[in-house]
Amino acid sequence: MSTLTEIPLTPAALSDAPTALQIKLRKRARFNAFVRYALLTIVGFIMIYPLLWLIGASFKTNGEMFSSAWFWPRNPTVQGYVDGWQTSTPYTFATFFLNSMQIAIPKVIGTAISSTLVAYGFARFDFPGKKILFAILIATLLLPDVVTRIPQYLLFRELGWLDTYLPLFVPQWFAWEAFFVFMLVQFLRAIPREMEEAARVDGANTLQTLIFIVVPMLMPALVSVCLFQFMWTMNDFLGPLIYISTVEKYPISLALKLSIDATEAFNWNQILAMTVLALTPSLVVFFLAQKSFIEGISTGGTKG
């Protein structure tokens, strides 16, 4: 058998100088790459520009705000942040941040626990009516949110939960978000059952199997669930608007609106500064959990 070194080299391979065809191909490849990257850079810049402008404008003075569409401030100032933090109410923005967390944290924890329990049930156990129940669950995905607002409001009013955070997170303790349940069910289906069976043979009961074996394997999907829920909660405007009436209890989303309502001449730099701050928790959480998040949303992600 001949080795590679024994294979006679072609004349073209022997000479160092590239042929005309090779030069042409190389030039074309370079040009193509240049066009590709240029186009992507331009489109990418256009897409991210509003965010850049938001951050840039939060350091502008109010007068400079609409004088130029360029994001870079001429005279950068943090006055927007200082004034914005104070707000036009007796409370600082710290209060509103805390309020948001009081909703987001129990909501995220409740969603993670309840969705996992329900998804585990649907993915791993057979029980009478399973197919119908799952179909109903999926059907609720198609139900517009707004349809349930009024009955929910009436219900929570009867329970005396108005102007409390309870209506904003208690439903999530009962696997209210069908989307998350569906996502976790799909993820669970991709995980082989042998690990759970091995745990059962090792003596684990159903709950122990769930906690010690399934949940760790489900972690990427769970991180995605938590992340989505956190971001959605931080961004939720309608929910707090309906149920929260006391300014002291306002979350960030309402507080931002408050600063627009409060004054006739809007202090845009304050509003933008606070918007940047409002975005920060979601961004921080996202970048912390980015690796798991990507793994989680690209379902099927466990090795056999």
Partner 1 sequence: MAELQLRSVEKTYGNGFKAVHGINLDVKEGEFMVLVGPSGCAKSTTLRMIAGLETISCGEVRIGDQIVNDLVPGKRGIAMVFQNYALYPHMKVHRNLSFGLRLRGASRQTIQSSTDTVSGILEIEELLDRLPKQLSGGQAQRVALGRALIKQPEVFLFDEPLSNLDAKLRASMRVRITDLHKRLRDEGRPATVVYVTHDQVEAMTMGDRICVMKDGHIMQVADPVTLYERPANAFVAGFIGMPEMNLVDAVLTRQDGVPSLTVEGQTIAIPDGLGKRIVGPDGPVRLGIRPQHLDLVAPDTPGAFTGTVANVEFMGHESNLYLRVGEADFVAVTPAEARFGQPARGDRIGLRPQGQKLHLFTAGDNGGNISLGTQHLQGGNDDNAYHSRTRAHDNSAGDDKLGRGTPHELVGR
Which residues would be at the binding site for partner 1 (CB under 8 A)? 126, 192, 194-195, 197-205, 208, 212-213, 216-217, 219, 302-304
Between 125 and 147, CB nearer to partner 1: 125
Q: Which is nearer to partner 1, 195 or 247 (CB)?
A: 195
Q: Decide: helix, strand or coil at residue 157.
A: helix
102, 106, 250, 253 from 163: Cα distances, Å? 14, 17, 10, 16
| Residue 120 Cβ vs partner 1, minimum distance, rounded to whole Å | 17
CB of 185 to partner 1, least distance (A): 20
Distance CA 53, CA 280 (A): 15
Nearer to partner 1, 116 or 172 (CB): 116
Percent helix, percent strand, percent coil in the chain, to nearest 5? 70, 0, 30
The nearest distance, CB 290 to partner 1, in angstroms, is 19
Q: Identify which of residues 20 and 201 has a Cβ nearer to partner 1 in the complex.
A: 201
Nearer to partner 1, 63 or 128 (CB): 128
Q: Label residues 247-280 b or e (16+ Cβ within 10 Å = b).
A: eebbbbbbbbebbeeeeeeebbbbbbbbbbbbbe
Are the CB atoms for 76 and 59 separated by under 8 Å?
yes
Query: By C-beta, is 36 or 193 nearer to partner 1?
Result: 193
CB-CB neighbours of 236 under 10 Å: 19
Q: Residue 54, Cβ neighbours under 10 Å: how many? A: 15
C-beta of 195: minimal distance to partner 1 in Å?
A: 5
Distance of closest approach, residue 242 Cβ to partner 1, in angstroms: 41
Query: Cβ of residue 286: shortest distance to partner 1, in angstroms?
Result: 23
